Amino acid sequence: MDNIGKVEKAGLCCGCGTCVGICPSGAITMDISKGLFIPNVEEKECLDCGICIESCPGQTVDFQSLCFEIFGRQPDDLYIGNYSKCYVGYSKDGQIRYNSSSGGVATQLLITALEKKIIDGALVTKMQKKNPLVPEVFIARTKREIISASGSKYCPVALNIGLKQLLKDNGRFAVIGLPCHIHGIRKAERVLPNLRERIVLRIGLLCSHMVTFNGTHCILKKMGIRKDSVTQLGYRGHGWPGFMSISTKQRSRYIPLIGFWNAYWHLFSPGFFTPVRCTLCPDQTAELADISVGDAWLPELKHNKVGESIIITRTAVGDEMLEIATSANAIRTIRVEQCKVKQSQLVNLNFKKKDLGTRFDFFRTIGRAVPVFYPKPTRIPPMSLLPSILRTLYTYFNIWISSHSLLANVLQYFPLPVVRLYYGIYKALSII
């Protein structure tokens, strides 16, 4: 079996969908199981060509060779990767900014690229109309379609299944996805040069971890809402930091992301409903993208009610695209030092970078497989080892609770303020 099945069997699949998007025989599909997208291989159709394994970011990512290939150098800053310039900014379109996750920069960049005929379309994600709890990957070819895909999706997204359509269509395209999606795309471009010719812009989204579908289901249970009654679902928007919006035929409910005792993100932050493979990812800031964007969690912006984005340009393509958008008066930016990027993402960066070696050691101790990265994760200094071990055990304990149906069901009865207090344990451990 020389296909993606062995990666899934080893527990290393990150559900990005790259294998489906580039399989020449169409032997792979993505199915939902245990709250995640997992690949399913039709062995009779498999050619044993190995393309899926070669492109898979779940099993291995050689950041060293990819950095030389993309940037021509290794990163000076090991926390945020190679970068050209760093900014804080937002879309000048008030409606786009208000309804996006954080400033609307990603949406505005895609719209500008489309209007300036830099791209013919963009590979994006929105929630399905018929089944609003499941995402839909599609190529947006109009401004309206791009806007329909704005906002974070705190659920599994197999974005790279859309590579299949990009390989069929002529034209130039942008892709926007999480770090794992960008890893898969960069690896697939090595294997399939015609894919590299089609993708002219890669926008990466800052990401601490994915949330399983079971996380959303738990929130619905807390709200007393049946899954089959939901007609529309959004995870962010309506200002910043934003609200989850849940609509049924009878009414709409809005739950704050953070900042309130009844906020929902604290349910996901301690590791509840987090895929195990996400904890083995070293990339918070989408280091292999042309441009990376995400929430600007900075003290001076905490009272901002409409949102601003951290923006990291990494390549000449990224610099040029941002310059085009600012010159067109579509985006406003303020240049900042890279320390502001790290300040805005400090807890998540420490989790991704500082504690990764401890988590790898934990997995090896219990006999579990780990992905192969170059450079290899470094071990934490002895004086910091105990807090790192406690953070690791805390995270995996919560993942274990939420991965068992009986224990996960108990979580729906814990009030959100109690969950917020429980998350405070991790915040305290992060400060040590």
Amino acid at 165: Q
pLDDT band, very low/low/confident/very high, at 247 (cuts 50, 70, 90) = very high
How many C-beta atoms surround the C-beta of residue 231 within 10 A? 13
pLDDT band, very low/low/confident/very high, at 367 (cuts 50, 70, 90) = very high
Contacts of 233 (CB under 8 A, 6+ apart): 127, 132, 133, 216, 244, 245, 246, 247
Give 268-314 pLDDT, tens digit per residue. 988 999 999 999 999 999 999 999 999 999 999 988 999 999 999 99
Distance (Å, rounded) from C-alpha 83 to C-alpha 96? 26
Q: Indicate if the alpha-carbon torsion angle 67, 72, 76, 77 is positive or negative.
A: negative
Give 115-158 pLDDT, tens digit per residue. 999 999 999 999 999 999 999 999 999 999 999 999 999 999 99
Contacts of 168 (CB under 8 A, 6+ apart): none
**CA dihedral of 55, 57, 60, 65, whole degrees rounded to 10:** 70
Amino acid at 365: T
Amino acid at 72: G
